[in-house]
Amino acid sequence: MAYLAGKMVLAVEAGAPNNGKGEDTKARVKYARIRGQSYPYVSAQAARRWIRDGMVELGSVPSPVTRVGKAQGKAQKANTEADPVRYADDDLFGYMRAGAKKDDAATTLRDSPFMLGTLLSVEPVRVTEDFGVMSRGVIEPVLHGHEFYTADLAAPFLLDVPRIGTFTVPSTEGVGRPNYLSQEAALAVAEAAAAGATPITFRHQSAVRLPLEERRERAALLLEALAHLSGGAKQALHYGDRVPALLVVVPFQGGVNPLAHCIDSERDVGARLRGDVLRQELSAWKGEWEPPVRIGWRPGFHDEQRLAFEKECAEELAAGQIVVDHPRTLLRDLAAELRDGRHDGWFDDPTRGAA
């Protein structure tokens, strides 16, 4: 298997974890208009920031960020060090570092091995507007307002495991630039760090790759950051838990996500995991996925839906093709299995037709 495909649900209760552009003295949450109704969402950019911060809490050294460019509202940009050999977040989340035109410098870029969709509400929600007053110690009160909502937000994700710690080298025609890293720079940094990177051919392109032990560690670190996800705006007024309430993960051979339609909504209840849809998808992709399908389901989150799912998939649960556990336990156990080398086959592309 080469990919970890998944879908996760965050349960937001009276929260405003990701705000849009404010209007006058009012803070607005982000929401999409779909068929005339409002669906709150958290942008993938925000959620990826939460995961990055979680990696730092676990001891990962973040890639330094430098803000360059002109004043606010004009041409501007911010760059990380763009060094995926030294910094795990540059490796896992990608970057683009544009060179200065005046220096005719090259643009260095890497697309992200970890892909995450928008955390969109599974059902339409009427956003609540809260009116506030700051009157402490002032003669004329200051008026302000903000929005919040309660919703189950769902997003797909995909981790391209073989690309972790693997960096293609551009040819003279420019092929390989989406994962760009000069071979000399990669090997020099790797040698300095005693990382032992080696040249390989990866997906028909020249590349350099970090040792398997380091690649295991980075994949495990990402999963552990998801296991204690936290963050978001308005924490002082709308503190809330951000650990996934529901999570589905399956090792998959191709770069698609078979879980796209497995989670929808039950009217007046919220998110539900469709056992019938999951079973049909697994059947349709037979031979393309590796059991078990790992499901993380937090106690107290839509318990009736969980019972219905377990009844629908009783045969697969009994056979061990599907396992259900707490999301945190599931992610941490999977991270430990990666570190122990139990899934080293995931770090290389599968050989088609080799059965």
Q: Please list the pLDDT of the chain residue by residue as tens digits (355 residues).
A: 789 999 999 999 999 999 988 777 788 899 999 999 999 999 999 999 999 999 999 999 999 988 876 655 666 678 888 888 889 999 999 988 766 555 545 567 888 999 999 999 999 999 998 887 777 887 887 777 899 999 999 999 999 999 999 988 777 666 656 666 666 666 655 554 455 778 888 988 888 889 999 999 999 999 999 999 999 988 888 889 999 999 999 999 988 899 999 999 988 889 999 999 999 999 999 999 999 999 999 999 999 999 999 999 999 999 999 999 999 999 999 999 999 999 999 999 987 654 3
Beta bridge partners of residue 22, listed in sequence order: none
Q: Give the Cα separation of 220 and 226 in Å (integer).
A: 10
Contact 159, 125 (CB under 8 A): no
Alpha helices by DSSP H, the chain: 44-57, 88-93, 183-192, 212-227, 235-238, 275-284, 303-312, 314-319, 327-339
3-state secondary structure 166-198: EEECCCCCCCCCCECCCHHHHHHHHHHCCCCCE
Can you give the C-alpha Rg of the chain in angstroms? 22
The four Cα atoms 21, 23, 24, 28 give a dihedral, to 10 degrees, of -80
Q: What is the DSSP secondary-structure string of 67-108? A: EEESSTTSSEEEE----TTT-HHHHHH-EEEPPPGGGTPPPE
Residue type (1 letter), 101: K
What is the reported pLDDT for 90? Answer: 95
Q: What angle do CA 79, 81, 84 make, to 5 degrees?
A: 120
Residue 83's nearest CA partner among 92, 75, 72 is 92
Query: Which residue is it, tokens 């899934």?
Result: 343
HSE value, Cβ hemisphere, 13 Å, CA-based, for 221: 24
Residue 65 Cα to chain centre, angstroms: 20
DSSP letter assigned to residue 163: G
What is the reported pLDDT for 78? Answer: 80
Q: Give the Cα separation of 244 and 299 in Å (integer).
A: 12
Contact 3, 115 (CB under 8 A): no
Residue 120's nearest CA partner among 56, 174, 40 is 40
Contact 19, 238 (CB under 8 A): no
**Token duo for residue 232:** 């978001």
What is the reported pLDDT for 173? Answer: 67
Q: Give the Cα separation of 291 and 336 in Å (integer).
A: 17
What is the reported pLDDT for 355? Answer: 39
